Amino acid sequence: MRAPVTADDFGLTVESTKTIFDLVQAKRIDHVSLLVNAPETKRAIALIRRYRLPNIGLHFNLIEGGPLSEPGRIPSLVDEKGRFHPLPVFLLKLLLRRINMDEVKTELHAQLSVFRKNAIPCAFINSHQNTHYFPPVESIVFDAAKKYKIPFVRNRGSILKRLRRFPLKYAVFTGGILLLRLVYGKTGSTYPGFEEDIVHPGTDYD
């Protein structure tokens, strides 16, 4: 039996949104990760609602584009233009303890609220570039999943299975996790997940 296939980045671009939708209609995709603060988010939500697409989860994004929260409420997460820091800057700020975890929580709840406002059940949480697995972001995501009764959070095994195809990304991710655990310690918390194959249709990530 094959592992379920999850397509990330629904709503990122016209191409990714169209490609993922077509694959869902062809029954080649089992789960879809929705970016709620991306250029094509409105189009993606319209498709979800019109066609009642199942198994939609939050692709929590802290590293690309702009936030849903007012930038003034989350200053540690954004630059002087109110845009998210790219992944290397975000990771460095985490290591230096310059990311305010209350602000991460604020933005996570703002992104989850999109599901409630559009009457879309949130089936799981994962994240853009796997930042939800970084301590201590992980604990905040787990707490939100529990609060809103979201069944699953993407697990480490599925992330590493994909990243092994990209040695540099694998090294950066695993090295970053080790450094963050030295700074913050192990969270000790866990949350249910499922084995999945992660794909990014309509992008150059794969």
pLDDT at 49: 98
Q: Could you tell me which of 22, 31, 34 has the C-alpha nearest to residue 115?
A: 34
Exposed / middle / buried, residue 18 (Cβ in 10 Å: 0-12, 13-18, 19+) = middle
pLDDT at 118: 98
CA-angle at 101, arms to 96 and 107, nearest 5°: 125
pLDDT at 107: 98
Distance of CA 37 to the CA centre of its chain: 11
**Fold of the 5-199 domain:** TIM Barrel (3.20.20)
Q: What is the residue extent of each domain of the chain?
A: 5-199
pLDDT at 189: 77
Q: Please, which residues bridge with residue 127 across strands?
A: 60
Tokens 């084995």, residue? 195
Q: Give the mean pLDDT per block of 10 residues along the chain (206 residues).
A: 92 97 97 98 98 97 98 98 97 97 98 98 97 94 97 94 92 92 83 94 83
Q: How far, in Å, are 25, 62, 74 from residue 85 at the CA level?
A: 35, 8, 12
pLDDT at 15: 97
